[in-house]
A = this chain, B = another copy of it.
């Protein structure tokens, strides 16, 4: 299994604190890491089939404050697909003139859909197959770019088809919204005014968000396990899909 980290904010925000928390878990999840940062329509996608603990790419990500409004990160413990760059999450494709980024925690058994459209897997993971199928079905469901609520509706119809095959915790973003779906393990958190200090659950590191933020800032963080020990993380229910826009989620 793997670990996911997502961030959605109403103003470009760096994720160095959260990524440091995630990377401490790379001792167990040593089969690669990846992180994608949206900057408006563009994406920086860093992937490395080496552990985030030793990767020079991860080291750069921890030190370079890349500011983004949508981030998806993943540290990998291989279940399906050998350890290779092409099997390292997140995966990226283009649809309707937007980049889409996807990462998955879980294991899908016997999920081998017919990929007859414009999206084929490059590597050999169940995760990339699931992503390609989702892109294919989204493209079939909408002739042109749908709104975020319409996309959420379509995803709500599509995701159970995949989730029948096993554990399917995922993060998906097109730079405008971030969707998170859980079958077993995912937590979310909204940070907003008044901001306070937070301590990483895994490492003796704290940050005072009050000193780093504006009162209007809103940041949502989604993770496989709570990353901090003194903030009100909420667990996803099994089968729950949430969409995050501008640092907030709606019920």
A interface residues with partner B (beta carbon < 8 Å): 39-49, 56-57, 60, 63-64, 84-88, 92-99, 117-123, 139
Enumerate chain B residues within 8 angstroms of A45, measured Cβ to Cβ: 45
**CB-CB < 8 A to A139: which residues of B?**
118
Whether B122 lies near A86 (C-beta < 8 A) is: no
Copies of this chain assembled into the complex: 2
Partner pick for A41 among B92, B97, B122, CB 8 A cutoff: B122
CB-CB under 8 A from A98, the residues of chain B are: 122
Write the nearest CB–CB distance from A16 to chain B, whole angstroms: 13
Contact, CB under 8 Å: A84 / B123: no
The interface centre, meaning the residue of A41, A119, A123 with most chain B CB atoms within 10 A of its CB, is A41
**Contacts A40-B84, A42-B84, A44-B47 known; A121 to B97 CB distance under 8 Å?**
yes
Q: A56-B64, A63-B56, A64-B56 are in contact. Are A86 and B119 (CB under 8 A)?
A: no
* Distance in angstroms between the alpha carbons of A46 and B144 in the assembled complex: 30
Docked-complex contact A85 and B120, CB < 8 angstroms: no
